[in-house]
């Protein structure tokens, strides 16, 4: 499943392809969206942005196309003019620069741009986005101790989009490892040092994962906050059960918590 870094990366690629350009082609596979297809066909695209794990494409007629990849959705991109992508994409978008096709995404909706962020149910409940440069560690530190979240285990909280948008399953394991914390802690019981470590990792790890996608190129315009972020990212514990921990050498273990697999090191996460 794409998490925040992958969603933001795809949104940036879509923005390069479509931002400031006129749509040459638009097709939805869902017949229920036929009227929307007519409304958006041939319109100009103002820009493309990610919010959590959703992608928003803003058009010049005050409409916004919302997609959420959920578990299996994925984007494909191509530059060949006139080339038709294989299969039956749920959404096909093309400008003079090339095309983008979204496959298997269960959520495709069109909303008025002015109200989408307050009326669309997923967007309306999103917490601060871990890839939003305006989000600071202090905000997340305070959030861990707020009434809505303080009784929850880190295992559940670190998947909850209301707490921190863009978090997901691989990020959960990696963030907790970076903060040297076990997932079984209750948020409100973390001491000041643990809270700070976790808040910092909640931003640092997703940003590093995102930044690594531009290893050989500068991050796109407006992502200057990533300038000093490490360009490499690889899993330290996720999908590494049975292997030695890169920090202490103990054997990494796998568990299931809050319905999803989680990886941790029993030697250095407490
Ligand atoms: Zn360890």
Parse the chain into domains and list their residue ranges.
4-124, 137-264
pLDDT of residue 214: 80
pLDDT of residue 245: 98
pLDDT of residue 166: 96
Output the CA–CA distances (angstroms, integers) from residue 34 to 27, 30, 62, 247, in the order listed.
Answer: 9, 7, 18, 54
pLDDT of residue 79: 83
Q: Where does the pLDDT of residue 242 fall: very low under 50, low under 70, confident under 90, or very high at 90 and above?
A: very high
From the candidates 36, 49, 51, 53, give the one annotated as an active-site residue.
53
Q: How far, in Å, is the centroid of ligand 1 from the Cα of 177?
A: 8
Active site residue 2: yes
Q: How far, in Å, is the centroid of ligand 1 from the Cα of 218?
A: 33
Class of domain 4-124: alpha beta
Neighbouring CB atoms inside 10 A of 227's CB total 9
Q: How far, in Å, is the centroid of ligand 1 from the Cα of 87?
A: 44
Q: Choose the CATH number for 137-264 among 1.10.240.10, 3.30.565.10, 3.30.1330.200, 1.10.8.50.
A: 1.10.8.50
Q: Do domains 4-124 and 137-264 have the same CATH topology?
A: no
Q: How far, in Å, is the centroid of ligand 1 from the Cα of 183?
A: 14
Highest mean pLDDT among 95-104, 211-220, 227-236: 95-104
pLDDT tens per residue, range 18-60: 999 999 999 999 999 999 999 999 999 999 999 999 999 999 9
pLDDT of residue 15: 94
Active site residue 53: yes
Instruction: Look up tokens 């305006």; give the residue.
Output: 134
Q: How far, in Å, is the centroid of ligand 1 from the Cα of 206?
A: 20
From the candidates 2, 5, 206, 219, give the one annotated as an active-site residue.
2
Q: How far, in Å, is the centroid of ligand 1 from the Cα of 211?
A: 25
Q: How far apart are CA 15 and CA 236, in angstroms?
A: 31
Q: How far, in Å, is the centroid of ligand 1 from the Cα of 180?
A: 8
Cα angle 85-87-90, degrees, rounded to a multiple of 5: 85
Rounded to an integer, the average pLDDT of 90-105 is: 92
Residue 81, pLDDT > 70, answer no
Output the CA–CA distances (angstroms, integers) from residue 52 to 2, 34, 55, 180, in the order listed.
Answer: 10, 27, 8, 25
């Amino acid at each position: 499943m794409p998490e925040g870094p992958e969603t933001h990366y795809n949104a940036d690629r879509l923005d390069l392809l479509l931002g400031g350009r006129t749509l040459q082609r638009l097709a939805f596979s869902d017949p229920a969206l036929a009227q929307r297809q007519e409304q958006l066909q041939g319109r100009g695209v103002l820009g493309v942005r990610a919010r959590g794990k959703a992608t928003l494409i803003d058009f010049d007629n005050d409409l916004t196309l919302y997609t959420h990849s959920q578990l299996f959705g994925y984007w494909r991109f191509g530059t060949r003019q006139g080339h038709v992508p294989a299969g039956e994409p749920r959404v096909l978008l093309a400008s003079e620069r090339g095309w983008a096709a979204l496959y298997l995404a269960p959520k495709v909706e069109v909303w008025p741009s002015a109200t989408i962020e307050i009326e669309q149910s997923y967007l309306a409940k999103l917490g601060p986005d871990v890839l939003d440069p305006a989000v600071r560690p202090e905000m997340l530190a305070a959030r861990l101790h707020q009434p809505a979240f303080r009784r929850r285990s880190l295992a559940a909280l670190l998947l909850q989009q209301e707490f921190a948008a863009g978090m997901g399953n691989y990020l959960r394991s990696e963030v907790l490892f970076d903060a040297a914390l076990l997932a079984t802690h209750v948020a409100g019981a973390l001491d000041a040092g643990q809270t700070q470590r976790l808040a910092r990792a909640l931003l640092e790890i997703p940003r590093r994962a995102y930044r690594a996608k531009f290893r050989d190129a500068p991050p796109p315009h407006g992502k200057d906050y990533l300038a000093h972020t490490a360009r490499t990212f690889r899993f330290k514990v996720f999908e590494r059960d049975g292997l030695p921990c890169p920090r202490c050498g103990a054997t990494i273990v796998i568990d299931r918590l809050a319905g999803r697999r989680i990886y941790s090191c029993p030697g250095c996460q407490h």
